[in-house]
Amino acid sequence: MWGGYKKFDPVKDIPDLSGKVILITGGRWPKSNTTNNHNPTHIYLAARTQSKAEQAIADIKKDVPDARITYLPLDLTSFASIKKAADLFLAQSSRLDLLINNAGIMATPPGKTAEGYEIQFGTNHMGHALLTKLLLPTLLETTKHPGADVRVISITSIAHNFTLFTMTYDQDELNSRHPVSRYALSKLANVQYARELAVCYPQITSVSVHPGVISTDVFDNFQNLDFLHRIVVPFMKSWVWANVQDGAKTQLWATTVSKDKLQNGAYYEPIGVKTLGSVFARDSKASKKLWDWTQEELISKGY
pLDDT band at 290 (very low <50, low <70, confident <90, very high): very high
* Strand pairing category for 273-275 and 21-25: unpaired
CA atoms of 284 and 207, how far apart (whole Å): 15
For residue range 73-130, list pLDDT tens digits in order: 999 999 999 999 999 999 999 999 999 999 999 989 999 999 999 999 999 999 999 9
Q: Which secondary structure element, helix H or strand E, spans residue 257, and what is its range?
A: none
Burial of 181 (0-12, 13-18, 19+ CB in 10 A): middle
Active-site pick, 44, 117, 183, 193? 183
Whether 187 is catalytic is: yes
* Residues in contact with 54: Cβ distance below 8 Å, sequence separation at least 6, in sequence order: 71
Whether 303 is catalytic is: no
Q: What backbone phi and psi angles, to 5 degrees, belong to 217?
A: -70, -5
Angle at 25 between CA 137 and CA 96, to 5 degrees: 30
- Quote the pLDDT of residue 25: 96
* Residues in contact with 129: Cβ distance below 8 Å, sequence separation at least 6, in sequence order: 193, 294, 298
CA atoms of 129 and 125, how far apart (whole Å): 6
Quick one: which of 215, 242, 239 has its CA closest to 2?
242
Q: Where are the beta strands (DSSP E) in 34-103?
A: 42-47, 69-73, 98-101
For residue range 182-217, list pLDDT tens digits in order: 999 999 999 999 999 999 999 999 999 998 765 555
Structural domains for the chain: 10-217+246-301 (3.40.50.720)
- Quote the pLDDT of residue 12: 86
Active-site pick, 20, 44, 117, 187? 187
Cβ atoms < 10 Å from Cβ of 249 = 26
SS3 44: strand
Q: What backbone phi and psi angles, to 5 degrees, belong to 105?
A: -125, 160
